Homo-oligomer: A and B are copies of this chain.
Amino acid sequence: MIGLIEQLTTYFKNYFALSPAEEEAFAIRLTQKRVKRRQFLLQQGDVCRHFSFVVSGCLKMYAVDKNGKEHNIQFIAENDWATDLSSFYDEKPSLLYIEAVEPTEVLQIKHQDLLYLYSNHHTIDHNFRVIIEQKYIALQNRVLQNISLSADERYEAFLKQYPKLANRLPNTQIASYIGVTPEFLSTIRKKHTQQS
């Protein structure tokens, strides 16, 4: 447990470092959770009650459309945060799923605990603003790629942006992320290997 929290503390040093008191205030509000492959952290219809820091492993966040197809909105791997912001802050049922694609360890903080920390520790509020801004920038790049690139180019962009994940995820999951069928991703990959 100590090791996991140290990883989060180290992570926060990339932002405004927390004071020892702030670290302590954060740490005592964390709970650890171990999630097996295919186990859910959040299911459609439930309220997302936690902000989760991924220590190891990998999660996927996805929506299911009216035809029952899954569409991966994001992958969340080590040193990243998973939550459905909309459900978390408004405490309303989520439209999304968060599921482990690998055995995953997370540290979780509850809604009211995080709000308490926001109110009482400017640095924590500040850091989460910066974190969400960085995630916003990444998401905006993804929107741009979606509206301007072909499937082929989106696959290349994914490989460049997540070189580690590419080896860890089945292609079906990557296909769902870039917005094509697995069959079409297969033909894209074929072309790639023939060229290089």
Contact of A146 among B74, B133, B147 (CB under 8 A): B147
Q: Do B143 and A143 touch across chains, with their CB atoms under 8 A apart?
A: yes
* Chain A residues within 8 Å of chain B by Cβ, number: 33
How many identical chains are in the complex? 2
A154: nearest chain-B partner, CB-CB: B147
A196 CB to nearest B CB, Å: 21
B147 touches A89 (CB 8 A): no
Q: Provided the pairs A125-B126, A139-B139 are in contact, do residues A144 and B73 lie with their beta carbons within 8 angstroms?
A: yes
Confirm or deny: A111 has a beta carbon within 8 angstroms of a beta carbon on chain B. Answer: no
Q: Does A36 contact B (CB under 8 A)?
A: no
The smallest beta-carbon distance between A49 and chain B, in angstroms, is: 17
Contact residues in B for A72 (Cβ distance below 8 Å)? 147
A→B interface (CB under 8 Å): 63, 65, 69, 71-74, 85-86, 89, 118, 122, 125-126, 128-129, 132-133, 135-137, 139-140, 142-144, 146-148, 176-179
